[in-house]
Amino acid sequence: MNIGSPPKTALIFGGSRGIGAAAVKRLAQDGYAVGFTYANSEKPAAALVEAIVGQGGEALAIRADSADAAALTSAVAQFVDRFGKIDLVLVNAGLFRMNTIEAVTLDELDSMLAVNVRGVYLSIQAAAPHIVDGGRVVTIGSNVAIRTGFPGSSVYQMTKGAVAAMVKGVALDLAPRRITVNNIQPGPTDTDINAGSIDMLSQMSPLKRVAKPEEIAGLVSYLAREEARYMTGASLTIDGGFTL
């Protein structure tokens, strides 16, 4: 960064816990002013802001439900009002429910589609006018878009497959502005969503462990760098060989 130049900025949708929080921390360490949304985790969100500010960074927590289109638009407006521009957008917010097709309720289907597909699209759509030319968009999908060995994951798999397809079209839409759009597909990761299943999932992995959130955040950091400016429309699987 040149002396006197404004910091780069990153807006993370779903950043108060797990992979999102790890990405917020990593991007702050990389010199970004960060803003992130959260739905219900007010205390973790406040603690994350405090930690980043305490280390000399800039951070903003914004309450916004990714199923609420107006809330997403408002979150972008609040971020731009504070930081003036967007250099990187990370869409991490997601909802996970398991049920076999005979038992999936309409509410479960609609809620996962609303957050995992509609919410991802609307987050990018709301942010796009404010992303600087040459900026970055990154989504967090899942390796289940490739393969899932568990019954009961059909809806979740469908939504993550949709994200992998979505980034291709969005990448073409934003290519004239040199904005890259890429999707990260993590395997099992040590987050709240997998609490109680870490040992089982570790045994299923060729590497006999699950990912750390910081490892996924490292890939986000890479996609934000100049070295990654020629990659767009890609889905990058980081799952320790889980889908081999």
Which residues belong to the active site? 156
Question: What CA–CA distance (Å, rounded) separates 100 from 122?
Answer: 28
Alpha-carbon distance values, 107 to 110, 122, 156, 188 (Å): 5, 20, 14, 25
**Contact between residue 96 and residue 149 where contact means Cβ atoms under 8 Å apart:** no
Q: How far is CA 98 from the centre of its chain?
A: 20
Q: How far apart are CA 4 and CA 10, in angstroms?
A: 19
Closest CA to 206 of 237, 239, 184: 239
Beta carbons within 8 Å of 115's beta carbon, 6+ residues apart: 66, 67, 93, 94, 95
Closest CA to 217 of 6, 7, 9, 17: 17
What are the tokens at 18? Answer: 């797990």
> Residue 210 is inside which H or E element, if any?
none
H helices within the chain, ranges in order?
A: 18-29, 42-54, 69-83, 106-113, 119-127, 154-174, 198-204, 213-223
DSSP 212: P
Grouping H, G, I as helix, E, B as strand and the rest as coil, residue 83 is helix
The partner residues of 9 in beta bridges, in order of sequence, read 33
